[in-house]
């Protein structure tokens, strides 16, 4: 039974097959919300309500010619999309989606898993940089440099914001953090500032508007992905979708009380809460426009980092005098 449970966890839910389906659905949801906020229709024709449009886009890329630049590092250029997708999928497996109780947590739950998850979610940035560097393209290298510059801006505020609830719960384990706030739902309000900071940082991590300067088409063609096409570009697109789901799941687990109720009820909680986070990301994408790379770093260290420290200070006060 334990082997079957592990098999289901790795392949079915929240495993790779579920990720393939749900990540493309989340891309459709994001595109649909973004379009409606701009008074457009968004995907409509491919499948009912356009649900299959992201799948059709990936299939189209898979069918296109796969070109490797003559001067590129062929091995690294080809293997990085696969490694990136594997990393994003691994991050998803650490979310406590099968949380029945503290005695029966998710199969991959362990003390300190929130630190490991944050570390894994940092690796796609390195993958993007290496992909740009191995392309040996001028435009790609500029995009790769911007990717690393962004990392130094949003990563510290994101870590401070996400670790705040962990300090309040007195645990570095996602299942225990979620259980703590399920027992004390009013305390979720104390993390509202941290949640907003984390949403903005997640937007930057995903390189979405207004933080999409690493692949600004009007300046550097396509940035990191300028030289990628065909199957490799399809894997990168799927990787970004999976990373969005994993990031939204992390915020839902830490700031929104997790996914209580076992497999089926927990699945409903997971879908609703991750879609809520993605909805906020879509709103942020719709109401802002691209800013310069120096403005991103300045905004992160002048506003996000001090606000994250303030949030941490509020949590320490609550921890010391109220809880």
- DSSP string covering 93-155: HTS-TT---SSS--TT--TTHHHHHHHHHHHHHHHHHHHHHHHT-HHHHHHHHHHHHHHHHHH
How many helices and strands, by DSSP H and E, does the chain display?
Answer: 13, 0
- Predicted pLDDT of residue 10: 72
Q: Would residue 173 count as lying in a domain?
A: yes
- Predicted pLDDT of residue 309: 94
- Predicted pLDDT of residue 75: 87
Which pair of structure tokens corresponds to residue 274?
A: 């991750």
- Predicted pLDDT of residue 305: 93
Q: Would residue 81 count as lying in a domain?
A: yes
Beta-carbon contacts of residue 196 (< 8 Å; ≥ 6 apart)? none
Q: Which structural domain, as residue segments, surrounds residue 125? A: 67-321
Q: What's the angle, vertex CA 240, arms to CA 235 and CA 243, rounded to 5? A: 120
Distance CA 50, CA 56 (A): 10
Distance CA 209, CA 285 (A): 5
Q: Would residue 19 count as lying in a domain?
A: no
- Whether the bond into 14 is cis, omega within 30 of 0: yes
Q: Would residue 125 count as lying in a domain?
A: yes
What's this model's pTM, rounded to 2 decimal places?
0.92
- Predicted pLDDT of residue 312: 92
Best CA proximity match to 218, nearest among 288, 149, 143: 143
pLDDT (tens digit per residue) in 19-49: 889 999 999 999 999 999 988 988 888 888 8
pLDDT (tens digit per residue) in 213-265: 888 777 777 778 888 888 998 999 999 999 999 999 999 999 998 888 777 88
Q: Would residue 247 count as lying in a domain?
A: yes
CB 120 within 8 A of CB 91: yes
Distance CA 15, CA 23 (A): 12
CB 242 within 8 A of CB 89: yes
Measured between alpha carbons, how far is residue 142 from residues 131, 135, 149, 155, 293 in Å? 12, 11, 11, 20, 11
List the chain residues with pLDDT less than 70: 1-2, 5, 98-107, 322-323
- Predicted pLDDT of residue 97: 81
Q: Would residue 284 count as lying in a domain?
A: yes
Number of domains in the chain: 1
Q: Would residue 191 count as lying in a domain?
A: yes
Q: Would residue 10 count as lying in a domain?
A: no
């Amino acid at each position: 039974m334990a082997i079957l449970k592990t098999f289901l966890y790795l392949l079915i839910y929240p495993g790779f097959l579920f990720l393939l389906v749900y990540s493309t659905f989340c891309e459709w949801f994001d595109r649909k919300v973004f379009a409606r906020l701009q008074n457009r229709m968004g995907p409509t024709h491919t499948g009912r309500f356009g649900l299959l449009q992201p799948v059709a886009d990936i299939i189209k890329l898979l069918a296109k010619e796969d070109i490797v630049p003559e001067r590129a590092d062929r091995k690294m250029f080809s293997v990085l999309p696969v490694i990136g997708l594997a990393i994003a999928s691994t991050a998803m497996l650490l979310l406590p989606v099968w949380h029945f109780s503290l005695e029966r947590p998710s199969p991959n739950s362990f003390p300190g898993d929130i630190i490991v998850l944050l570390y894994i979610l940092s690796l796609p940035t390195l993958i993007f940089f290496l992909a740009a560097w191995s392309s040996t393209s001028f435009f790609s290298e500029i995009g790769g440099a911007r990717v690393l510059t962004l990392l130094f801006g949003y990563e510290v505020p994101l870590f401070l914001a996400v670790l705040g609830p962990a300090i309040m719960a007195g645990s570095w384990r996602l299942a225990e953090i979620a259980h703590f706030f399920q027992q004390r739902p009013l305390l979720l309000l104390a993390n509202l500032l941290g949640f907003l900071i984390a949403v903005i940082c997640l937007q930057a991590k995903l390189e979405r508007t207004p933080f999409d300067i690493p692949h600004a088409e009007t300046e550097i063609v396509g940035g990191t992905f300028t030289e990628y096409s065909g199957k490799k570009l399809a894997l990168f697109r799927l990787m970004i979708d999976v990373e969005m789901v994993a990031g939204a799941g992390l915020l839902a687990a830490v700031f929104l009380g997790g996914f209580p109720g076992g497999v089926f009820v927990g699945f409903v909680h997971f879908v609703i809460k991750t879609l809520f986070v993605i909805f906020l990301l879509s709103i942020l994408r719709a109401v802002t426009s691209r800013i310069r790379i120096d403005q991103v770093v300045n905004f992160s260290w002048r506003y996000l980092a001090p606000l994250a420290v303030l949030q941490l200070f509020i949590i320490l006060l609550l921890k010391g005098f109220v809880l």
